[in-house]
Structure 1
Amino acid sequence: MIDLLLVNGVVITMDSERRILEDGAVAIHNGRIVEVGETELLRGKYEAERTIDCKHHCVLPGLIDAHGHGGHSMFKTIAMDSPSFWMPVMTHTYKHFVTDEFWYYEGKINALERLKAGITTGACVLGSMPRSDDPVFALNHAKAYAEVGVREIVCTGPCNPPWPHSFSRWVDGKRITRDVTYEEVLQGAEAVIEALNHAHDDRIRAFITPFVIVTSVNPSAPTPADQLYGLTDHDRYQAKRIREIARKYDTRIHSDAFGGMVHLAIQDKENALLGPDVHLQHCRGLSFDEARILAETGTNVSSAPGFGQVNARTPITELIELGATVAITTDGTAPAASFDMFQAMRKTQLIHQAALKDYYYLPAGKLLEMVTIDAARCVGWDDELGSLEAGKKADVITVDMRQPHLTPAFMYVHRLVHQAVASDVDNVIVDGKIVMENRNVLTVDEGLAIDEANAEAQRTVERAGLQKYMQPTKYFWGHARAYLDEKRFDPGDLV
C-alpha cells in the first residue's frame, strides 16, 4: 500500500519529455514519487491510504523561488516612496533594530506566503544584505520554515566593506552594539552552514552568500566599463575564502552580480565566484562577453522582473541561447514585490518582449520551466526537485482550474502562465506530506502567525523609527507624478 494517490488531474510533469497527462495520476510513498501515469492504470496498480481527486485541477511540481529575502515580509512597502534611500534604510534596520525573535516571526509569515503561492522551495538571503554576525538569525528563520513545512535555502555570508562592521543585538529590550570583523562574519556563516545544510530531513539547505561577487564596484547596479579598475586585494581574498568555505562544507555559492562584475571576477580564474556550483541573482546590465563567460563557465543565473530591468536588462534570452540555465525569481517581498511566481513569469515575459520589441520571446512553456526544473538546476537540486518523475521528492501542487478566469479547460500551460495567480493554488504537498489542503494550512496556526508577525513588525517599526517612511506624500492622491518635497532620509540616522 502506498501513502497517497492523486488522480483525475491534468498532470504537467516537466520531465524530459514535458509530458502532459490530461487524465493523469501521481503515486506517492515515503516522501517520494513512485510513478506518474494515466489514472486508470495507476488506480488499478496501487492501493493508497489516501486518494485525492484532482478533477478540474492541474497537478505540477512545486514552484521553486531561487531568490528572495528573509526579513522583507515584515517591511512590505515601507520606504518605497523613497526608492533612492530604501537600501540604506532597510540595511540599517536589519543591522541594528531587529530582535532575535524577529527572524522566527518573519520566517513563519514568509514561509506561509510562499506556501500559499505554491512555492515549495524558496531561497532566503537574510536581510537586504546578508547578516551572519551570529547564527541565531538563520537558525530562527529555518525553524519557522521547518514548522510550516516548506523547503528553505538559507543564504548568509559577508556584506560589503568597510570592516570591521557595526551590528546590534537586543537583550532584555536594550540595544547592544559591537564592531564585528570580517573573519567573525565568515565564522558566523560557517556555523549556519554546519548547523542547517541538509537539516530537517533535508528540507533546509544553507549556501555561502557574499552580498556580491566583487565588492569594489557598485553593488546594486552595473558599473561603466571605464570604472572597472581591476580586482582589489579584498575582492581576491573574499573569493578565496568563499571558495574555501564552499569546499569545506560541500555547499553551493549564491550571490548578486551586475554588469562589470563578471568581467572582473574572471580575472582571478582560480577563485572566481563563477561555475556550476554558483548561482548569481540579478545580472542586470551584463555585456555580451560577460553573458558568454557565464554560459561557458556553467554559472547559473536568476532574475526577478522589476523596473530595474528597464534601465539595465538581464540578458535572459541571450543567456538561454548561449546554453546557460536561467531561473525566474520574485526577489520578494519588499518593497513592492510579492511571492506570486505566476505574476513573475508574466512580468518577465512582458519586460523582455518590450525591450527586444519582439512578441515571440519567452513562450509559456519556457517560462514554466524557469520556475520549476530550470530553477531546480540553478540551486543544484534538480536530482530531486523540479519535475514529477519516479524517484524524485514528492513536492507537488494542484491549481484549481474550475474558475471563470481559468476557463476554458484547454491549453493548460498557457492558462497557468497567462491567467493564473498565486491564490489559485489549492493543495500543496512537500516530501509527500499534505501541507495545505483546499487552501487550509495544516501545519501551523495561520491566524496566530499573522497576529504575531503584525505585532513584531509594529514593534520593529517603532524601535527603528520607520514611521516617517510609511506616510503618504502630498502627491499620493490625484497627481500623475510623485514628489517627496521633504527630507525624510538623513545619513545621520544611520548610527
Structure 2
Amino acid sequence: MIDLLLVHGVVITMDAQRRILEDGAVAIHNGRILAVDDTAVLIGKYEAKKVIDCKHHCVLPGFIDAHGHGGHSMFKTIAMENLSFWMPIMTHTYKHNVTDEFWYYEGKLNALERLRAGVTTGVCVLGSMPRSDDPVFALNHAKAYAEVGVREIVCTGPCNPPWPHPFSRWVDGKKITREVTYDEVLHGAEAVIEALNHSHEDRIRAFITPFVIVTSVNPSGATPADQLYGLTAHDRYQAKRIREIARKYNTRIHSDAFGGMIHLAIQDKENALLGPDVHLQHCRGISFDEARILAETGTNVSSAPGVSQMFERTPITELIEMGATVAITTDGTSPSATFDMFQAMRKTQMIHQAALRDTYYLPPGKLLEMVTIDAARCVGWDDELGSLEVGKKADVITVDMNQPHLAPAFMYVHRLVYQAVASDVDNVIVDGRLVLENRQVLHVDEKTALAEANEEALRTIERADLKKYMQPTKYFWGHARNYVDEKRFDPETLR
C-alpha cells in the first residue's frame, strides 16, 4: 500500500516532454514520486493510505523561489515613503536591533506565506545584506521553516567592507555591540553550512553567500564603465575564500551581481564567482559582454520583477536565447513584494514585453518553467525537484480551478499564469507529506505563529525607532505624486 494518490487532476508534469495529463494521477510513496499516469491506470495499480480527489484542480510541481530574504516578512511596507534610504535603514535594523528569537518568529511567518503561495522551496538571504557573525540566526530561521514543513535554502556570508564591522546581539534585554572581523564572519557562515546543509532530512540546505561578487563597486546598481578600475585585494581575497568554503562543504554559491561586476570578476579566472555552481540574483544593468560571459560560464541567473527593471533591466530574454538558465524570483517580501509566484510571473512578462516593445516575449510556458524546473536548476536541485517525474522528491501543489476567475476549464497553463493568485493553491505536499490541505496549515498553529510574529515585529519597530518610517506623508491622499517634505533619515543616527 502506497502513502498517497492524487487522482482526476490536470497534471502539468514539467518533465522533458512537458506532458499535461487531463485526467491524470500522481502516486507518492516514501517521500518520492512513484508514478505519473492517467487516473484509470494508477487507480487500477495502487491502493493508497490516502487518496485526494483533484477534480477541477491543476496538479503541478511546487514553486521554487530562488531568491528572497529572511527578516523582510516583519517589515512589509516600512520605509516605502523613504525608498532612497530603505537599504541603510533595514541593514542597520538587522545588524543592531533584532533579537535571536526574531529570526525564529520571522522564519515561521516567512515560511507560512510561502506555503500558502505554493512555494515548496524558498531561498532566504538572512537580512538585507547577509548576516553571519553568529550561527544562531540561521539556526533559528531554519528551525521555523522545518516546523512549517517548507524547504529552505539558507544563504549566509559576509556583507561589504569596511572591516572590522560592528554587530549587535541582545542579551537579557541589553544591547551588546562588538567589532567583528571579516574572517570571523566567514567562520560563522561555515558553522551555518556545517550545521544546516542537508539537514532536516535534506529539507534544509545552506549556501555560502557574499553580499555581492565584487565589493569595490556600486553594490545595488550598475557601475559605469569608466569606474571599473579592476579588482581590489579584498575582492580577490573574498573570491578565494568563498571558493574555498564552497569546495570544503561541497555547497553552492549564491550572491548578487549588477552591471560591471561580471566584467571585473572574470579577471580572476581561478576564483571568479561564476560558473555552474553559482547562482546570481538581479544582474540588472549588465552589458552584452557580461551576459555572454554568464552564458558561456554556465552561471545561473535569477531576477525579480520591480520598477527598477525599467531603469536597469536584467536581459532575461537575451540570456535565455544565449542558453543561460534564468529563474523568476520574488526578492520578497519587503518593502512591497509578496511571495506570490503567479504575480511574479505576470510582472516579469509585462516588464520585459514593455521594455522590448514586443508582446510575444516570455510565453506562459516559459514563465512556468522559470518558477519550477529552471529554478530548480538555478539552485542545483533539478535532479530531485522542479518536475513531476518518477523518482523525484514529491513536492506537489494543487490549484483549485473551479472558480469564476479560472473558469472555463481549458488552456490550463495560460489560465494559471495569467489569472491565478497565491490563494488559489489548495494543497501543498513536501517530501510526500501534506503540509497544506484544503487551505488548512497542518503542522503548526498558524494563528499563534501570526500573533507571535506580530508581537516581535512591534517590539523590533520600537527598538529600532522605525515608527517614523511608517507614517504617511501629507501627500498620501488625493495627490498624484508623493513628497516627504521632512528629514526622517539621518545617517548619523545609524552609526
Matched, 1:81 2:88: no
Aligned to 2:105: 105
Q: What amino acid maps onto 1:279 in structure 2?
A: H
Q: What amino acid maps onto 2:40 in structure 1?
A: E
Cα offset, 1:248, TM superposition: 0.1
- In 2, Cα distance between the equivalents of 1:365 and 1:242? 36
Where structure 2 has 5 or more consecutive residues not aligned to the other structure, the ranges are none
Matched, 1:245 2:245: yes
Aligned to 1:271: 271
Aligned to 1:14: 14
| Correspondences of 1:16-415 after superposition (within 5 Å) | 16-415=16-415
Cα offset, 1:349, TM superposition: 0.1
Cα offset, 1:492, TM superposition: 1.2
Cα offset, 1:389, TM superposition: 0.2
> For this pair of structures, how many residues does the alignment match?
495
Q: Which secondary structure does the structure 2 equivalent of 1:106 belong to?
A: helix
- In 2, Cα distance between the equivalents of 1:8 and 1:267? 55
Cα offset, 1:101, TM superposition: 0.1
| 1:63-94: CA deviation from partner (whole Å, max 9, x where unpaired) | 00000000000000000110000000000000
Aligned to 1:447: 447
Q: What amino acid maps onto 1:91 in structure 2?
A: T
The percent of aligned pairs where both chains have the same amino acid is 85
| 1:197-243: CA deviation from partner (whole Å, max 9, x where unpaired) | 00000000000000000000000000000110000000000000000
Cα offset, 1:493, TM superposition: 1.2
- In 1, Cα distance between the equivalents of 2:436 and 2:491? 45
Q: Which secondary structure does the structure 1 equivalent of 2:22 belong to?
A: strand
- In 2, Cα distance between the equivalents of 1:328 and 1:160? 25
Q: Which secondary structure does the structure 2 equivalent of 1:9 belong to?
A: strand
| 1:282-329: CA deviation from partner (whole Å, max 9, x where unpaired) | 000010010000000000000000011000000000000000000000
Q: What amino acid maps onto 1:158 in structure 2?
A: P
Cα RMSD, aligned residues only: 0.3
Where structure 1 has 5 or more consecutive residues not aligned to the other structure, the ranges are none
- In 2, Cα distance between the equivalents of 1:29 and 1:462? 48
| 1:10-55: CA deviation from partner (whole Å, max 9, x where unpaired) | 0000000000000000000000000000000000000101100000
- In 2, Cα distance between the equivalents of 1:191 and 1:80? 35
Q: Which secondary structure does the structure 2 equivalent of 1:324 belong to?
A: coil
- In 2, Cα distance between the equivalents of 1:65 and 1:36? 24
Q: Which secondary structure does the structure 2 equivalent of 1:101 belong to?
A: helix
| 1:124-164: CA deviation from partner (whole Å, max 9, x where unpaired) | 00000000000000000000000000000000000000000
Q: What amino acid maps onto 2:414 in structure 1?
A: H
Q: Which secondary structure does the structure 2 equivalent of 1:366 belong to?
A: helix
